[in-house]
A and B are shown apart, each in its own frame.
Chain A
Amino acid sequence: MKDYLIRRLLLLPLTLFAIILINFVIINLAPGEPSSYTSSSMEGGAKKEGENAAEPTDLKYLQFREHYGLTLPILFNYYPFIAPEEIQSDLKKISDFKKNNEGMTFKDYETLKRNLGDEAKFIMPKLLNSLNQTKTETAASFFVRGGTHQAILGTHLTSEEKAYNQKIADDNFALRSHLIKEKDSPEIVDEKIAWFNDWYQKNKTFYDYEPTPLKKIALFLFDTRIFKYLSQVLTLNFGTLRNDNNKLVIDEVIKRIPISLTLSVTPMIISFVLCILFGFWMAYERNGFVDRSLNIIFLILFAIPVFVAAPFLLDKVALNHDFPFTDIPIPIYGFTSPDREFQEMTTSQKLLDVIRHIALPIVVILYGSFAAQSRLTRSQVLDVLSADFIRTARAKGLSEWTIAWKHVGRPVSIILVTALAGSLGVLLGGSLIVETIFEINGFGKFFYEAILNRDYNVIMFSTIIGSFLTLAGYLLADLTYATLDPRVSFER
C-alpha cells in the first residue's frame, strides 16, 4: 500500500507537467490573442462611432503583449539566430506592401509585421545593419520597436527601478522622435541614422543587444513563454487577471470557492442520500409499480436539458410565486440578495438568504443526476442481495433492516463513493449553464469568461487545478476503495 502510494504520488507531478505542457501549447497556438479581444464590444454586432478608431502605430497592445510574455516564442527562442537575409526579406515585403498593397493579404501583412516586431529586440544589430544599408522608414520603425522597452510596473518600486523607468522613458521618447518620415530629406535621414548608430553604441551593453554565444543558448532555452510560465507556477504564482493586474488569479478563485462548493457539494450530498434511498426502494420493489414508476420519472427528468428546465422554472415557478406554504418570494437571480440588503443582515438571515437563493439552482443541478445514480444503486443493491453472505445473514435470523444497513449498504456505497470522488475535478468547473441563467458568479462563469477573454492565466490555472483535483480524486477513490473493501489490495 505504501509503495503504491509513493508510486502514485511520484507520477502525479509528471502527469501534471505533461498536462500543463500540452495545454499551454494548445492555448498559445489557438487563433486570437488576449489583445485581439480588447477591441471588441459587448454590445454585440453593433459598434459605436468613435469607439474603434484606427491606431496607426505598432505600439497598440505592445505593453499588454510584453506584460504577458506574448512577444516571446512558445517553446524555444530562436529569434537571436534568425539570418540577416531573412530579416532583410521580411522588411522588403513589409515595405512593398505599404507602398502598393500588393504581394500578400492584409492579414498576412499584419502577422508578418507583428512577428518581426516581436523579434526586433533580439535582432537589433541586424536591424541596424539593414537600416544603414537601406535607409528605409520600415527598417527604422522596427529598430525603434526593438529599442522600445516596457517600464517596470507596480505600486512599490525601489529607487533603482524608478531610475530604470526614467532611463527607458527618455530612450523611448528619443527613439520615437527620430523615426524616419516620408517627407524627410536625404540629409535628415542620414542625420537620423547617424543618431541611431550613436544611440546603439551607447546603449548596446545596457540593453544587452549583443549577447555572448552562451547567453544566446540561455535565451534559446529560457527566454520563452513556457519557461516563464513554469517558473512562475513552481513558486505557486499563478499570475494576475488579464484586465486588472492588482487582482491575483488565486484570490479571485478563493473568492468564488464558497459559491461553487455550495453549488456542487450540496447537490452531490443530497443526490448521494436520495439516490441510495431510491435505489434501495427500487431494488426491494424490483419490477414492481414503484420501481417502474420511479424509473420512468427519472428517465424523463434525465431527458430534460438544464437549459430548458432552468428558464421554465424561472418563468413558471419563481416569477411572482412564493415558497410553498410561506409568503417568502422565490428569488430569481444571484447567490445572495443585492449587497445593499445583504450587508445589513445578521448571520442567520444571511444563511437563510443564501438557502432561499440556491433552492432553485440546486433543484436544476440535482434532478438530472437521479436517473443515473439511483439506477446504479439499484443494480448494485440487487447484486449484493443475491450474494451468499446475504443468504447467510438471513439464515442467521437478522432483521431485513440490519441486513440492508450493515451488509448491503457498505458494498453499495463503495461504487457511489468511487463515482463521486472521481468527479472531484468537476467541482472546479462549476455549472456554467446554471450559473449563467441564475446570474451566480461561480467558477463556471469565471472560467468560461476567461476563455472568451483569452485570459491565459485563468485558463491555465483552471487546467492545472482541474487536473490536480481529478488526479487526486482518483487516488482518493482508489484508497477509499481499499479501505471500504478489505478484498482490495495494492500489494503484489
Chain B
Amino acid sequence: MKKNDAFWSIVKAILLAVIALFLILNYWSSDQVEERLIKMQKKMDMMELKMENIHSAPAPSFEPKKETAEVDSPYPNIFVPDPFEDVTFPKMLGPNFKPYPLKFLATIGKPENLHPFSNWYMVSQAYSYCVGAAGKTKTGFYEIYSPFYATRIENRVAEDGKSGAYWVFLRKDLFWLPLKQSLFPDNIELAPQFLKSHPVTAHDFKFNFDTQMNPFSQEAAAVISRQQYDDVEKFEVVDDYTFYVQWRYKEVRPNEFKPKYRATLLTIGLSPLPTFVYQYFPDGTKIISDDSAPDAYRTNSSFAQQFTEHWAKNYIVSIGPYDFAGMNDNGMRFTRNGKYYDPISALYSEVEIAFRNSQDSIWNDFKLDNMSTYELPSYQIPEYERFLASPLYSGQKLKGRAVKRLDYEARTFSYIGWNEKTALFQSKVVRQALSYGINVDRIIHDFLNDQAVRIVGPISNQSTNINPNLKPIPYDPVKAKALLESDGWKHDGSGILKKVINGVETPFQFTINYFVKSTIGKAIVEFISTQLKEIGILCEPRGIEIADLSAKLDDKDFDAVMMAWVQSSPPEDPRQIWSSQGVGLKGSSNFISFSNARIDEIINLLDFEDDPAVRQKLYFEFQDIIFEEQPYTFLYSPITILLYREMVHNVFIPKDRQDLIPGAVVAEPLSNIFYERLPD
C-alpha cells in the first residue's frame, strides 16, 4: 500500500514538473514571438517613413539660406535679415548635420492642461516647439525683427498720418500637422478632417485674435491679450496669406499722430490658432453652427466657454519644428518635423520634457547625464563641487562628458514689497528707512554664495534702459533710525518703535510672508527680521503655501511679502506692476497698491513715444522716482549658473561674441541655438 502511495506521489510530482516545464516553455516561446513582432513593427515603421520620404518633397537641408527676391512695394519691410540664423549658424552645422537623437529636459510639476491660452510657463515653452508667430526677434538683439511665419510686414500709414495699418504677408509653405487619434481619450472619436494636414492661413491668425478678444474667454493669456490689443480697431483678412491690423492712432503732439509704441511688437507677436480644430466638435460639426458673421468668434459666449473646455485642450496642434507626441503623468514628448521649412529650428530628433517633483530629482538627472544642461541654484553649489569630485563624474569625464559652466545675470529680481494699504508703510520715509536697515550685501554673501548682484530698481542691469546714475542703497542702520525718527517713530524703552497713527499708539510690528518651500527665502526673511529688530521694528516671518500666497496677493491682504519678478526684455512695460489702475483690482500685479501720478504719466507717455532718446529719458525718470519712493526694497538679481556637458555647442552670451553676431546686445545665452553633434 505504502509502495503504491509513493509511486503515485512520484508520478504526480513528475506530471506537475512536466506541466510547469511546458508552461515555462510556452511562455518563453510567446515571449520570443512578441520580441520578433516588436522588431517587425519597428522595421515597418521605418519602411513607412522611407516610403513617405520617397513620395514627398525632400526634407529641407542644413544649408545657408538663399537671399529672397526683393518685393516691389512702396512700403519698406519691417523685417530685417538675421545673418546669424541665415548664414553663420548653418555654416557651423554644415550641410551634413544629423539631428541629435534626444533632447531631455525636466521641469518641476505638471501643467494642468495644454490649452493654447494657458499661462503656465512650461505650456508656453511646449508651444514654442510647435507653433511660432508672424515674426521673431533678430538673434542677439532687442526690438529688431526678422521673418518667421510672415515674410514681410509693412506699416502702411495714411497720407494724412492719422491712421495706418500693419500689412502681414504669410509664408505659403506652412501646414498644421494632422491630429493623432491615439493621443485622445477613448470617448473622443475624431472625424476624418482632423487626420489630414491643413495649410496655415491668415484665417488662423484672425481666429486666434478673435478668440482672445472675446470678452467671455477667461484663460489668462486671453485676459492679458485683451489689455494689450485693446487699441486694435480692425483685423481684416485680405486673402488666405495676407491680413492687416489697424491700430488706433492718438494725437501725441499737435498734428502728430501715432499708434502705440508696442503696436509693431504686438503685431509681429500674433500667432495662428488652428481653425480646423478649435472651431469644431470632434464629430466635425461646428461649435457655432452659423459662424458667417465676421465677429462670430469675438462675441459668442457659448463658443468661449466651449473653447475653455475644448476637447483638444490637452493636445498641441503643431506646425513645426516639432510635432506633439503626447503627454502623460511622466512628461511630454515631441518628435522632429522633418518637413518643416526651417531645419535649424529642430536640431534634435526627439524632445522629452519630464515632470519631476523637485529640484533634487532634476539635479540627479543631470548628474546621471540624462540631461545635458542644468541651471544650478546657488544653494546647490556645494553639492555641485562634491559631484565634480565623485567617481561618477570622473567616469563621465573620461567618456567626453565633462561639465562646463557659464555664469550670467538672470533677468529676475527679488524684493520685499511693502503693502502701502498698511498704515505702517504709507510714508516713503519709512520705506527708505527699511531699505537702509537691510544689509543686502550680507544676504548675497551669506545666503547666496555671492551668486547674485545688487539691483537698484525694477529694470534689469543688463537692459539697455537701465539708469546708470543710480547706486544701491547701502546698509546704514543709523540713517535708518534717523529717518524713522524724522517720521515720528519714537522709542519708549520697550525696544519697539511706536507712533500715534489715527489717534492710536501703534507699535512698528508687522508680518512678512514668503513662499514656505523656498529655503533661501526663509533664511533671508529671518535674517531681515533680526536686522530690523536692531532698529526697533518687530517683523514676524510667516511662510505660506503658494496657493495661499497668491490668494493673499490677489486680495492685497498682507503687510509685507518677499517675492521675485521675472522681468521682460526691452521694451519694458511698467504698466502691469506700477500703474495705479491696478490699485483697486483683485488679482492685479500692483498688489502693494503703489500709486504715483508722475509714474502713471510716464507709463502713458511710454505707450506712444517712439523716439529712442526720449524713451530712455522717460525710463531713467521712472527709475529715479521708484528709487526715491522705495515701494519695494530691491534685493538682488541672481547669477544663473548654467551647467552643460562639453559636447553641447553654442552656449555663449551673444553680447560677448561680436565675432559671431556683430552688434549683439543680449546678455543671456539662447537655448534655441544649443546643439549636440553625433560623433563622426
Contacts and interface: CB of A to CB of B under 8 A. Distances in A.
Interface string A343-363: 011111000000000000000
Interface string A146-176: 0010110101110000100110110011001
Contact of B565 (A46, A452, A454): A46
A246 interface: yes
A46 B412 contact: yes
Range of interface residues on chain A?
Answer: 35 or more
Contact of A39 (B42, B303, B521, B587): B587
A156 B283 contact: yes
B455 to A, nearest CB: 14
A64 B219 CA distance: 11
A59 B216 contact: yes
A338 B352 contact: yes
A186 to B, nearest CB: 25
B650 interface: no
B306 A151 contact: yes
Interface stretch (A102-110, A126-134, A283-291): A102-110
B330 A107 contact: no
A489 B548 CA distance: 53
B555 A110 contact: yes
B568 A49 contact: yes
A43 interface: yes
Contacts of A63: 218, 305, 308
Given A53-B223, A105-B557, A153-B306, A41 B187 contact: no
A62 interface: yes
A247 interface: yes
A339 B333 contact: yes
B40 to A, nearest CB: 12
B547 A37 contact: yes
Interface in A45-101: 45-57, 59-64, 67, 98, 101
Nearest to B574: A49
A32 interface: yes
Contacts of A168: 301-302
Given A40-B549, A42-B109, A45-B549, A53 B589 contact: yes
A332 B358 CA distance: 14
B642 interface: no
A52 B361 contact: no
A60 B587 contact: yes
A168 B302 CA distance: 7
A369 to B, nearest CB: 24
Point out which of B281, B305, B549 has the most chain A C-beta atoms below 10 A from its C-beta. B305
A319 interface: yes
B227 interface: yes
Interface string B339-360: 0000000000010101011101
Contact of A42 (B108, B223, B227, B302): B108
Interface stretch (B156-164, B477-485, B491-499, B576-584): B576-584
Contacts of B412: 46
Contact of B289 (A38, A39, A166, A243): A166
B220 A39 contact: yes
Interface of A: 31-32, 36-57, 59-64, 67, 98, 101, 105-107, 110, 148, 150-151, 153, 155-157, 162, 165-166, 168-169, 172-173, 176, 242-247, 251, 311, 314, 319-320, 332-334, 338-340, 344-348, 436-437, 439, 441, 445, 452-454
18 contacts: A38-B112, A38-B220, A41-B546, A48-B566, A49-B589, A52-B220, A53-B223, A53-B589, A60-B587, A101-B583, A105-B557, A110-B586, A155-B188, A156-B283, A157-B281, A169-B299, A169-B301, A246-B185
